Structure 1
Amino acid sequence: MIHHVQIACPRGTEDVLLSFYSGVLGLAQKPKPPALAGRGGCWFVGRGIELHLGVEEPFAPARKAHPGLLWEGLDALAVSLAAAGHDVVWANDELPGFRRFHTFDPHGNRLEFLEPTA
Protein backbone atom coordinates (compact mmCIF):
# COMPACT_ATOMS: atom_id res chain seq x y z
CA MET A 1 0.00 0.00 0.00
CA ILE A 2 1.26 3.48 -0.84
CA HIS A 3 0.76 6.42 1.51
CA HIS A 4 1.26 9.17 -1.09
CA VAL A 5 2.90 10.11 -4.37
CA GLN A 6 5.17 13.17 -4.64
CA ILE A 7 5.00 15.32 -7.78
CA ALA A 8 7.43 18.19 -8.36
CA CYS A 9 6.34 21.78 -8.87
CA PRO A 10 7.98 25.20 -9.20
CA ARG A 11 8.14 27.49 -6.16
CA GLY A 12 5.27 29.92 -5.66
CA THR A 13 2.66 28.14 -7.79
CA GLU A 14 0.28 26.97 -5.07
CA ASP A 15 -2.67 28.92 -6.55
CA VAL A 16 -2.22 27.21 -9.93
CA LEU A 17 -1.97 23.83 -8.24
CA LEU A 18 -5.07 24.47 -6.15
CA SER A 19 -7.01 25.49 -9.27
CA PHE A 20 -6.08 22.24 -11.05
CA TYR A 21 -5.93 19.59 -8.32
CA SER A 22 -8.94 20.89 -6.35
CA GLY A 23 -10.84 22.85 -8.99
CA VAL A 24 -10.58 20.44 -11.93
CA LEU A 25 -9.85 17.09 -10.26
CA GLY A 26 -12.00 17.74 -7.18
CA LEU A 27 -9.38 16.71 -4.61
CA ALA A 28 -9.36 18.41 -1.22
CA GLN A 29 -6.33 20.39 -0.14
CA LYS A 30 -4.73 18.83 2.93
CA PRO A 31 -2.85 21.13 5.31
CA LYS A 32 0.87 20.42 5.45
CA PRO A 33 2.40 19.87 8.89
CA PRO A 34 3.89 23.11 10.27
CA ALA A 35 7.43 21.73 10.02
CA LEU A 36 6.97 21.23 6.24
CA ALA A 37 4.68 24.14 5.34
CA GLY A 38 7.54 26.63 4.86
CA ARG A 39 9.01 24.56 2.04
CA GLY A 40 6.20 25.52 -0.35
CA GLY A 41 4.03 23.28 -2.46
CA CYS A 42 0.77 21.74 -1.30
CA TRP A 43 -0.92 18.43 -0.61
CA PHE A 44 -4.18 16.98 -1.92
CA VAL A 45 -6.33 14.05 -0.86
CA GLY A 46 -9.46 12.30 -2.10
CA ARG A 47 -10.74 9.25 -3.99
CA GLY A 48 -8.38 7.03 -1.99
CA ILE A 49 -5.25 8.89 -3.11
CA GLU A 50 -2.90 11.42 -1.59
CA LEU A 51 -0.71 13.63 -3.78
CA HIS A 52 2.07 15.85 -2.46
CA LEU A 53 3.21 18.64 -4.75
CA GLY A 54 6.68 19.59 -3.60
CA VAL A 55 8.97 22.38 -4.72
CA GLU A 56 11.94 21.22 -6.77
CA GLU A 57 14.65 23.64 -7.87
CA PRO A 58 15.50 23.72 -10.60
CA PHE A 59 12.09 22.44 -11.66
CA ALA A 60 11.69 20.04 -14.57
CA PRO A 61 8.32 18.39 -15.27
CA ALA A 62 8.02 14.60 -15.28
CA ARG A 63 7.04 14.02 -18.92
CA LYS A 64 7.35 10.20 -18.84
CA ALA A 65 7.30 9.12 -15.18
CA HIS A 66 3.82 9.48 -13.71
CA PRO A 67 1.37 8.23 -11.11
CA GLY A 68 -1.36 5.91 -12.35
CA LEU A 69 -4.52 6.92 -10.50
CA LEU A 70 -7.59 4.68 -10.32
CA TRP A 71 -10.59 6.90 -10.99
CA GLU A 72 -14.28 6.05 -11.00
CA GLY A 73 -16.12 8.18 -13.57
CA LEU A 74 -13.33 8.43 -16.12
CA ASP A 75 -15.50 9.90 -18.87
CA ALA A 76 -16.73 12.76 -16.66
CA LEU A 77 -13.14 13.51 -15.65
CA ALA A 78 -12.05 13.60 -19.30
CA VAL A 79 -14.82 16.10 -20.06
CA SER A 80 -13.80 18.29 -17.09
CA LEU A 81 -10.15 18.24 -18.10
CA ALA A 82 -10.90 19.09 -21.72
CA ALA A 83 -13.25 21.90 -20.67
CA ALA A 84 -10.42 23.34 -18.57
CA GLY A 85 -8.06 23.25 -21.57
CA HIS A 86 -6.08 20.10 -20.75
CA ASP A 87 -5.32 17.53 -23.44
CA VAL A 88 -6.73 14.05 -22.84
CA VAL A 89 -4.93 11.24 -24.69
CA TRP A 90 -6.85 7.96 -24.54
CA ALA A 91 -4.94 4.67 -24.57
CA ASN A 92 -7.69 2.10 -23.99
CA ASP A 93 -6.25 -0.64 -26.20
CA GLU A 94 -2.86 -0.85 -24.48
CA LEU A 95 -3.67 -2.23 -21.00
CA PRO A 96 -6.16 -5.11 -20.87
CA GLY A 97 -8.85 -4.72 -18.21
CA PHE A 98 -8.65 -0.92 -18.02
CA ARG A 99 -9.85 2.18 -19.80
CA ARG A 100 -7.29 4.92 -19.38
CA PHE A 101 -5.91 8.22 -20.53
CA HIS A 102 -2.98 10.53 -19.91
CA THR A 103 -3.00 14.26 -19.33
CA PHE A 104 -0.59 16.84 -17.94
CA ASP A 105 -0.96 19.13 -14.95
CA PRO A 106 -0.42 22.90 -15.43
CA HIS A 107 3.35 22.46 -14.99
CA GLY A 108 3.67 19.65 -17.54
CA ASN A 109 3.76 16.67 -15.17
CA ARG A 110 2.24 13.58 -16.76
CA LEU A 111 -0.74 11.98 -15.01
CA GLU A 112 -2.48 8.71 -15.92
CA PHE A 113 -6.09 7.98 -14.95
CA LEU A 114 -7.44 4.44 -15.12
CA GLU A 115 -10.82 2.79 -14.64
CA PRO A 116 -11.30 -1.00 -14.62
CA THR A 117 -13.53 -2.38 -17.35
CA ALA A 118 -16.57 -4.45 -16.32
Structure 2
Amino acid sequence: MITGLHHAQITIPTGAEAQGKAFYCEVLGLQEIDKPDALKGRGGFWLEVGHQEVHVGTEDGFDRLTTKAHLAYRVEDIHHWRERLEEKGVEILEAVPIPGCARFEFRDPFGNRVELIELL
Protein backbone atom coordinates (compact mmCIF):
# COMPACT_ATOMS: atom_id res chain seq x y z
CA MET A 1 0.00 0.00 0.00
CA ILE A 2 1.34 3.46 -0.92
CA THR A 3 0.51 5.87 1.90
CA GLY A 4 1.85 9.20 0.63
CA LEU A 5 4.66 11.10 -0.99
CA HIS A 6 7.84 11.36 1.07
CA HIS A 7 9.94 13.49 -1.28
CA ALA A 8 10.53 14.57 -4.83
CA GLN A 9 13.93 15.33 -6.34
CA ILE A 10 15.12 17.96 -8.76
CA THR A 11 18.67 18.52 -9.93
CA ILE A 12 21.01 21.44 -10.37
CA PRO A 13 24.49 21.51 -11.91
CA THR A 14 27.37 20.18 -9.81
CA GLY A 15 28.89 22.93 -7.71
CA ALA A 16 25.83 25.21 -7.87
CA GLU A 17 24.63 24.51 -4.33
CA ALA A 18 25.23 28.07 -3.05
CA GLN A 19 23.21 29.56 -5.91
CA GLY A 20 20.53 26.93 -5.41
CA LYS A 21 20.25 27.63 -1.68
CA ALA A 22 20.10 31.38 -2.37
CA PHE A 23 17.14 30.84 -4.68
CA TYR A 24 15.21 28.13 -2.87
CA CYS A 25 15.91 29.24 0.73
CA GLU A 26 16.13 33.02 0.37
CA VAL A 27 13.83 33.83 -2.57
CA LEU A 28 11.23 31.07 -2.07
CA GLY A 29 11.73 30.91 1.71
CA LEU A 30 12.01 27.13 1.96
CA GLN A 31 13.83 25.65 4.96
CA GLU A 32 16.97 23.56 4.41
CA ILE A 33 17.07 20.33 6.40
CA ASP A 34 20.03 18.10 7.20
CA LYS A 35 20.90 15.23 4.92
CA PRO A 36 21.93 11.94 6.52
CA ASP A 37 25.69 11.75 7.09
CA ALA A 38 25.96 8.88 4.57
CA LEU A 39 24.69 11.19 1.79
CA LYS A 40 26.41 14.49 2.63
CA GLY A 41 29.37 13.84 0.34
CA ARG A 42 27.18 13.48 -2.75
CA GLY A 43 26.44 17.19 -3.14
CA GLY A 44 23.10 18.92 -3.24
CA PHE A 45 20.83 19.78 -0.33
CA TRP A 46 17.40 18.94 1.05
CA LEU A 47 14.42 21.20 1.69
CA GLU A 48 11.36 20.92 3.90
CA VAL A 49 8.07 21.76 2.18
CA GLY A 50 5.18 21.33 4.61
CA HIS A 51 5.22 17.65 5.60
CA GLN A 52 7.19 16.61 2.51
CA GLU A 53 10.74 17.08 1.32
CA VAL A 54 12.34 18.26 -1.89
CA HIS A 55 15.79 16.82 -2.48
CA VAL A 56 18.01 19.00 -4.66
CA GLY A 57 20.66 16.75 -6.17
CA THR A 58 23.44 17.49 -8.61
CA GLU A 59 23.54 16.33 -12.21
CA ASP A 60 25.51 17.52 -15.21
CA GLY A 61 24.94 17.12 -18.94
CA PHE A 62 21.18 17.68 -18.79
CA ASP A 63 19.28 20.57 -20.38
CA ARG A 64 16.52 21.33 -17.88
CA LEU A 65 14.87 23.74 -20.35
CA THR A 66 13.83 20.80 -22.56
CA THR A 67 11.45 19.14 -20.10
CA LYS A 68 7.94 19.82 -18.86
CA ALA A 69 8.72 17.95 -15.63
CA HIS A 70 8.18 20.20 -12.64
CA LEU A 71 7.16 20.59 -9.03
CA ALA A 72 4.04 22.56 -8.15
CA TYR A 73 4.15 24.32 -4.78
CA ARG A 74 0.79 25.14 -3.21
CA VAL A 75 0.79 28.71 -1.89
CA GLU A 76 -1.40 31.25 -0.18
CA ASP A 77 -1.70 34.69 -1.81
CA ILE A 78 -0.56 33.93 -5.35
CA HIS A 79 -0.42 37.68 -6.07
CA HIS A 80 2.24 38.14 -3.37
CA TRP A 81 4.36 35.42 -4.94
CA ARG A 82 4.04 36.86 -8.44
CA GLU A 83 5.14 40.28 -7.19
CA ARG A 84 8.00 38.84 -5.11
CA LEU A 85 9.39 36.85 -8.02
CA GLU A 86 9.01 39.73 -10.48
CA GLU A 87 10.91 41.97 -8.02
CA LYS A 88 13.72 39.39 -8.04
CA GLY A 89 13.82 39.45 -11.85
CA VAL A 90 12.20 36.05 -12.35
CA GLU A 91 10.28 35.76 -15.63
CA ILE A 92 6.69 34.69 -15.01
CA LEU A 93 5.18 32.22 -17.47
CA GLU A 94 1.40 32.14 -17.66
CA ALA A 95 -0.10 28.70 -17.13
CA VAL A 96 -3.15 27.24 -18.80
CA PRO A 97 -6.12 28.08 -16.55
CA ILE A 98 -7.56 25.31 -14.38
CA PRO A 99 -10.98 25.79 -12.72
CA GLY A 100 -10.68 26.46 -8.99
CA CYS A 101 -7.02 27.42 -9.17
CA ALA A 102 -4.86 30.47 -9.70
CA ARG A 103 -1.41 29.52 -10.95
CA PHE A 104 1.68 30.51 -12.87
CA GLU A 105 5.03 29.01 -13.76
CA PHE A 106 8.65 30.10 -13.93
CA ARG A 107 12.09 28.57 -14.35
CA ASP A 108 14.58 28.46 -11.49
CA PRO A 109 18.13 29.75 -12.17
CA PHE A 110 19.06 26.31 -13.55
CA GLY A 111 16.12 25.92 -15.94
CA ASN A 112 13.94 23.68 -13.75
CA ARG A 113 10.27 24.41 -14.35
CA VAL A 114 8.39 25.44 -11.20
CA GLU A 115 4.68 26.05 -10.69
CA LEU A 116 3.02 28.00 -7.90
CA ILE A 117 -0.67 27.25 -7.40
CA GLU A 118 -3.33 28.61 -5.07
CA LEU A 119 -6.54 26.68 -4.59
CA LEU A 120 -9.49 29.08 -4.75
Give the TM-score normalised by the residue count of structure 2.
Answer: 0.88
Partner in structure 2 of residue 7 of structure 1: 10
The structure 2 residue matched to 1:72, chosen from 71, 76, 86, is: 76
Distance 1:49 1:88, change over 3 A: farther
Distance 1:48 1:81, change over 3 A: farther
Q: Could you list the runs of 5+ residues in structure 2 that have no partner in the other structure?
A: none
Distance 1:59 1:37, change over 3 A: farther
Corresponding position: 1:105 with 2:108:
yes
Q: Structure 1 residue 49: deviation in Å?
A: 4.1
The structure 2 residue matched to 1:88, chosen from 92, 95, 113, is: 92
Q: Superposition RMSD on alpha carbons, in Å?
A: 1.5
Q: Structure 1 residue 89: deviation in Å?
A: 1.9
- Number of residue-to-residue matches in the alignment: 116
Q: Structure 1 residue 41: deviation in Å?
A: 0.7
My pick for the range that moved more, 13-22 or 56-65, is: 56-65
My pick for the range that moved more, 5-14 or 43-52, is: 43-52
Q: Structure 1 residue 56: deviation in Å?
A: 1.3
My pick for the range that moved more, 80-89 or 19-28, is: 80-89
Percent of aligned positions that are identical: 39
Structure-1 separation of matches of 2:85 and 2:58: 24
Give the TM-score normalised by the residue count of structure 1.
Answer: 0.89
Structure-2 separation of matches of 1:114 and 1:36: 31
Structure-1 separation of matches of 2:87 and 2:51: 24
Q: Structure 1 residue 47: deviation in Å?
A: 3.8
Off by >4 Å, runs of 4+ in structure 1: none
